[in-house]
Structure 1
Amino acid sequence: MTKQSFSFMILFMTFLILLSAGIAGCTSQAPSAGPASTITPAPVANTAVVSPANLVLQPQEIPGNFTLVEKGERHASDLSDWARDHGWMSGYYVVYRKNDPAAPSGTVIRQNISVYAEKNATLAVSDTIDGFADWIVKENAMNQSVEKISIPAIGDATGSLKYINKGDNSGVYMIAFAKMNVFEDIQTNGTAADYETAKQLATIAAAKIR
C-alpha cells in the first residue's frame, strides 16, 4: 500500500468522527426517527481526573500484527461545534495499521479519546451512534447502508455500528463508549475478526479510566 493511500484512509476515518459529532448536534434537538438504539446505558460514575495521552492503547496491548503508525493530541479547532458546546476539554488519538499481507489494503484500528465536562461524555455516545446512523438513513441511503450492532456494556454507556459504502462494499465498524467524563470511539475498516479485536481493545481502554 502506498503512503498516499494510507494517509487517505486516516483522513477518511477522522472525517467520520467529525461528521458524526456534527450530525449529532443537529439530531439531538428532536427524538430520533431512525432504527431503535443499541446504546447500552449504565449508572454514571464520578468524574475522572485524567490526561488523555495516558489512556491510549499501548503497542504491547495490541495484537502483534498491528503496528503503531500515528498518534497525537486532538485540538478544539479540529472538533465539531457540538463537542465544543458540550464541554470538550482535551483529547488524544492513536492509529495502528495491520501488517498482514492477506488483509485488505489500508486496514487500521484507530482510537479517539475525548475528555468532557461532567456527564456530557455519556451524551456523546448516543449522539455519535444514533446521529450518524440517522444521517445515513435519512440523507445518504443511496450511497451507504448502516447497521447498529448490539454490544456488551462498556463503562457507563456503549454503542456500536457498521456502515457500508454501496459502491465498493467497503465498510467501517465503530464502537463508542463513555466512562466517567471520558468518551472514546474505536474504529476499524477491517473484517469481522478485526471488529472482535476492536471490542477487546475497547474493554482494555475502558479499564484505564479510573
Structure 2
Amino acid sequence: MGLEQYRRTVSETKRASILKAGRENFLKNGFSRAAVADIAREADVSTATLYKHFSSKDELFAAVVHDAYGNIGGEFPDFADYNDIDIREMFLKMAHNYLRVQFDQGGNALLRIVIAEVPTTPKIALDTYETIVRRRFAGLKVVFDHLIERKLMRPHDTEMGVSFISGMIKEAFIWPALFDADAKLPENTDVIIHEAIDLYLARYGV
C-alpha cells in the first residue's frame, strides 16, 4: 500500500468512526444537546480532526442522516435486469426495504430528531426532506412510469399514485413510530402491506 492510499484509508476510517459516534450521540441526546467535543472523544479523534471532516455540527448531523439512509433509490428495481416482473412481489420487496431503513437502520429515530429541530435548524430539516423524502418519492414514480410503459399497470397520474400507496404504508407503520420511540413492526406487517398493494392494483393494475 502506497503512502497516499494509506492516508486515504486512515482518513476514511476516522470519518466512519466520527459518523458512528455522531449517530450514537445524536440518538441519545438529540441534536441540540449533542456536543462536538463528546462526539470527537467517543470517535477517538481530536476535535480538530472532526472539523476537518465536518465543518459544523449541522453538517455532521446531515451526514449521519444521509449515511443511515444509504443509497436512496437502491430499494427500487433496475428494469434492465427484469424480464418477467411479478408486480406484487416487487412492491412487497420495496416496502420491506423501506421499512428496514426506517426501523432497523434508525430512520425513524433520526426523523424524530429532524422534526424536533425544525424551529432551530430549518436548513437541516429542508435538506432531509429534499434529499431523502423527495428523492425516494421521485424514485418510486420512475418505477411506476416504467410499469405503465411496459403495460403492466394502467396509465394514471403516477405522482398521485405514489402518494396513494406510500401514504397507506406510512399511515400503518411510520406515523405510529414517529410518536412512539418503542414502536415495532406488527406481526401482521405482510398482511397490511398486501392489503395496500391489493388496493392500489385494484385501481391501477391491468
Q: TM-score, normalised by structure 1?
A: 0.26
The structure where helix makes up a greater share of residues is 2
The structure where strand makes up a greater share of residues is 1
Greater relative contact order, per chain length (Cα 8 Å cut-off, separation 6+): 1
Q: TM-score, normalised by structure 2?
A: 0.26
